[in-house]
Structure 1
Amino acid sequence: MPVDQTHDPFEDRLSAALHQAGGTFDTDRAALAAAGQVRGHRLRLRRRAAIAGGAAGLALVGVGGALLVPSGAGGSARHGSVAATGSGAPSAVAATPAVPAVSADEMVRTLTELLPEGEVTRGEARGTDSPLPPLAQVVFDDGEGAGAVSLLVDRVRGEGGAFDPASAVTPCPEMELPDSGLDSCVTQTLPDGSVVTLMQGYEYPDRRADTKTWSADLVTPDGTRVSVSEWNAAAQKGEPVSRPEPPLGMEQLKTLAAADEWRRVADAIPEETRRPTSSAGGSTGDATSHEGRRILAILTQALPDGAKVVSSDNDETEFAYAVVDDGKGRSYVQVNLQHDMSDVAAELYGSGAETLPDGTRVATRQGPGEKGGEGVVMWTVDTMRAHGMRVVISAFNSGSQTTAATRPEPALTMAQLRKIALSPQWELLGA
């Protein structure tokens, strides 16, 4: 019996819907192809010696006045013992903060009080009212030279209240890898059940500069994460070495991360901005959208003055977009972020690419849009850090890639796109 060839309107509607979805899927094709090529390989190579989700990559900016710390501010009485910190048993995260919000000023003040005696100069800071985790960065001088210190607090949680800190703490990379940039790395379990990874190494894995970076990444049984990093220079990059080693020893760094004060900060982080994990340590669906939210937050905060966000979305991992209007028409801006892409750097960045002093590669493109919008142009700045994190930002002279141009050029210049792509804020998303 012949197959019935009767026309089905539903199939037409389904086909049209699929074509439309394909035409409006806003991701970087080259990035997606490269990601697929190294998918299996990069899962085995977690070789970046950095704080996952921490602030190790941030350069200190906005340095203000100096604060003198009273003698004994960093003593054991203030810190308390490492064994006494945190909760002794796992507990579920409350649906609402149990304590009042913590301001950026409070973050800096708390860090200052927990440091040993010395001079503290304030750098960047954020409170719990930010879509990004609370942060305090300072330049600390104990009389033997200035060193940058950065501390970030975050909240992770397990499903059903079950949570293993070891599943969330940054693991030690393979020390034998030539590009690990590490002198030492150890993961310890503390008496209260917290797990901490302590790393000592260099800012540049190839050690082309003498800038050292030491870090402590601590996760408690109740899901508080405290990531501390320090350098033997007044900034992570761009400043000369000012002392042989960072100002805090590894025991001091561990004690600072384990201080009870950071538990209150973690409790004040709003539920919707906390970083979720599964009980086995893998990312959940919420974690996927969580990274997208942070990509969107970094993008929108970095937009130039006058660029009003009309709409935005972050419904997939490694990608977010915003439609902005500076009064001259709508402009679509998208960001793709990928981790551990060093393996394909040579394929992505040809002879025309620029290499910055810190090893970051930069490629730029200006040309027609790729998805058929009449008169649409696409301006792109494609960057890759030395440790393999790739940030690609593109802007269009239309409110979408598939509709006609609404203005002669995108709302952001190439210089502005470059500034956003190279922002140290992307390092918050770790590796």
Structure 2
Amino acid sequence: MPVDQYSDPFEEQLAVALREAGGAFDSPAALAAAGRARGDRMRLRRRTAIAGGAASLALVGVGGALLAPWGGRPAAGPSSVAASGGAKQAAFSADDMVRTLRQLLPEGEFRSTKVRGTGEKLPPLVAGVFDDGKGEGSVSVGLGRIPANGGEITPSTAVMPCPDGEQTSLDSCTTELLSDGSAITVYQGYEYPDHRENLKSWGADLVTPAGHHVSVSEWNAAAEKGKPVTRPEPPLTAGRLKTLAAASEWRRIADALPGEEKRPASPSGSPARPAEMAGWLILRKLTLLLPKGLERVRNGSQETGYGYFVVDDGKGASLVQVNVQPNMSDVAGQLYGSGAETLADGTRVAVKQGPGEKGGAGVVMWTVDTLRKDGLRVVVSAFNAAEQDTAATRAEPALTIEQLRAVALSPRWTATED
């Protein structure tokens, strides 16, 4: 799992990067490193190994073809064709991704820094620096496909939701339904909750009834981190973010991604490894499992496998994160030592209480790590701080070990419905 979510401009945002990590959660430390989701901007799903891809989002808080934004020219056609199950499926190259974004952006110069097409292991992505003459800004677009899993896709519940509660680091966040049934969330906030450096993070997250997932993110600097602020605000207004995310060109490219029903069997002929749970679904389940009396300050997720909430019970902010991984039985011996508990149904449970893993002053991390007999691993951690690398904001995490245990062992993680 990627370290420090969103620290790499979009890989973690769009998080499909989880696929890269595969089954590498081998310690609570690795889980902690796996991802501090950054702010309310939960990227899609971009988020979605689902689409391959990345980002995400939480459900408690708070989208026919549309015309190309700003009169954009038609996007380039597919660069290649690949056979899939006897049918031919268009593939789009990294160059197609760059060309499409350039055509859909307003007047200015765009320089790509990270790009993937539809034929790669991770989902399609185009990220780079855009300058409209008013200063450089970073712009990213990630694409994915949300599998229907035998039912209909409901965009309004799959799209990234706006944070719940009155306290939020976002300046604005709106979710609306488009005429074609798609849902889109457009948000304007900051890269850091304390607004340091005045680095702003804006974006749009869209899900269509067909399962297309488009996530757009932008910053008022040449990179998400590590570069100075170069302009007062990111280059695209809220309206342009909406139009860019809703452009039909992205849906056309996303159509080249295989759906859940096309997931191939493994080389051995056995069924393919179970799919990672989508970040937005993790957040929806987590919001139903959190104890009452907690204010949801903000939330976020990766495309798959990870979600978090920052909650406050009146005693200070506390980060609560969940990692979900299927098919982990083969490494049970490495993950659960002699001190682990085995329940009557065969579920393994390990508990750890100790200092945080990212150096925050006085930060402690409480973790309940569980592994069911079917190989599903659910790990829930809570901290006495809003972020792992900042100073503690309270004496202990907002959730007790028993509450963390209840969340991790809940049957909701294996239920087909929320």
Query: Paired residue for 1:214, among 173, 195, 202?
Result: 202
Q: Is the 8 A contact 1:134 1:153 kept in 2?
A: yes
Query: Paired residue for 2:142, among 149, 152, 172?
Result: 152
Once residues 237 and 79 of structure 1 are traced to their aligned partners in structure 2, the CA distance between those partners, rounded to angstroms, is 33
Query: Paired residue for 2:211, among 192, 213, 223?
Result: 223
Once residues 304 and 158 of structure 2 are traced to their aligned partners in structure 1, the CA distance between those partners, rounded to angstroms, is 20
Match of 2:359 in 1: 354
Shift in CA distance, 353/116, structure 1 to aligned 2, threshold 3 Å: closer
Structure 1: gaps (5+ residues): 1-24, 35-44, 59-72, 81-93, 276-284, 297-315, 324-331, 335-345, 364-381, 391-431
Q: Is the 8 A contact 1:353 1:362 kept in 2?
A: no
Q: 3-state SS of the aligned residue for 2:201?
A: strand
Q: Is the 8 A contact 1:108 1:138 kept in 2?
A: no
1:261-293 alpha-carbon deviations (Å, 9 max, x no partner): 111111111336989xxxxxxxxx9443788xx
Once residues 25 and 47 of structure 2 are traced to their aligned partners in structure 1, the CA distance between those partners, rounded to angstroms, is 27
C-alpha displacement at 1:157, in angstroms? 2.7
Q: Is the 8 A contact 1:232 1:242 kept in 2?
A: yes
C-alpha displacement at 1:55, in angstroms? 6.1
Greater C-alpha radius of gyration:
1
Query: Paired residue for 1:318, among 315, 325, 333?
Result: 325
Q: Is the 8 A contact 1:149 1:228 kept in 2?
A: yes
Q: In angstroms, what is the RMSD of aligned CA positions? A: 4.8
> Match of 1:112, as an amino acid?
R
Say whether 1:134 aligns with 2:124.
yes
Q: 3-state SS of the aligned residue for 2:91?
A: coil
Say whether 1:243 aligns with 2:248.
no
Q: Is the 8 A contact 2:69 2:247 kept in 1?
A: no
Query: Paired residue for 1:108, among 98, 103, 127?
Result: 98
**Correspondences of 1:284-363 after superposition (within 5 Å):** 286-288=274-276, 317-318=324-325, 348-349=354-355, 354-355=359-360
Once residues 264 and 214 of structure 1 are traced to their aligned partners in structure 2, the CA distance between those partners, rounded to angstroms, is 24
Q: 3-state SS of the aligned residue for 2:173?
A: strand
> Match of 2:130, as an amino acid?
F
Q: Is the 8 A contact 2:108 2:131 kept in 1?
A: yes
> Match of 1:249, as an amino acid?
T
Match of 1:271 in 2: 259
Shift in CA distance, 273/124, structure 1 to aligned 2, threshold 3 Å: farther
Structure 2: gaps (5+ residues): 1-22, 55-67, 76-83, 264-272, 280-302, 306-322, 336-351, 366-380, 390-418
1:198-249 alpha-carbon deviations (Å, 9 max, x no partner): 1100000111220001110001111101000000000000111100000001
1:59-108 alpha-carbon deviations (Å, 9 max, x no partner): xxxxxxxxxxxxxx96335489xxxxxxxxxxxxx978764111111111
> Match of 1:354, as an amino acid?
G
1:294-344 alpha-carbon deviations (Å, 9 max, x no partner): 989xxxxxxxxxxxxxxxxxxx943789x9xxxxxxxx999xxxxxxxxxx
Q: How many residues align?
A: 254
C-alpha displacement at 1:167, in angstroms? 1.8
C-alpha displacement at 1:28, in angstroms? 4.8
Shift in CA distance, 28/209, structure 1 to aligned 2, threshold 3 Å: same
Percent pairwise identity:
46
Query: Paired residue for 1:173, among 158, 163, 183?
Result: 163
Which is helix-richer, 1 or 2?
1
Once residues 118 and 273 of structure 1 are traced to their aligned partners in structure 2, the CA distance between those partners, rounded to angstroms, is 40
Q: Is the 8 A contact 2:45 2:213 kept in 1?
A: no
Match of 2:71 in 1: 76
Shift in CA distance, 353/26, structure 1 to aligned 2, threshold 3 Å: closer
> Match of 1:349, as an amino acid?
P
Q: 3-state SS of the aligned residue for 2:250?
A: helix
C-alpha displacement at 1:168, in angstroms? 0.8
**Correspondences of 1:27-66 after superposition (within 5 Å):** 28=26, 30=28, 48-54=40-46
Shift in CA distance, 29/226, structure 1 to aligned 2, threshold 3 Å: closer
1:340-366 alpha-carbon deviations (Å, 9 max, x no partner): xxxxxx95435x95359xxxx999xxx
Shift in CA distance, 247/96, structure 1 to aligned 2, threshold 3 Å: farther
C-alpha displacement at 1:176, in angstroms? 2.1
C-alpha displacement at 1:53, in angstroms? 2.7
Q: 3-state SS of the aligned residue for 1:157?
A: coil
Once residues 290 and 274 of structure 1 are traced to their aligned partners in structure 2, the CA distance between those partners, rounded to angstroms, is 17
Query: Paired residue for 2:247, among 259, 263, 270?
Result: 259
Once residues 130 and 185 of structure 2 are traced to their aligned partners in structure 1, the CA distance between those partners, rounded to angstroms, is 22
Query: Paired residue for 2:222, among 200, 216, 234?
Result: 234
Shift in CA distance, 116/295, structure 1 to aligned 2, threshold 3 Å: closer
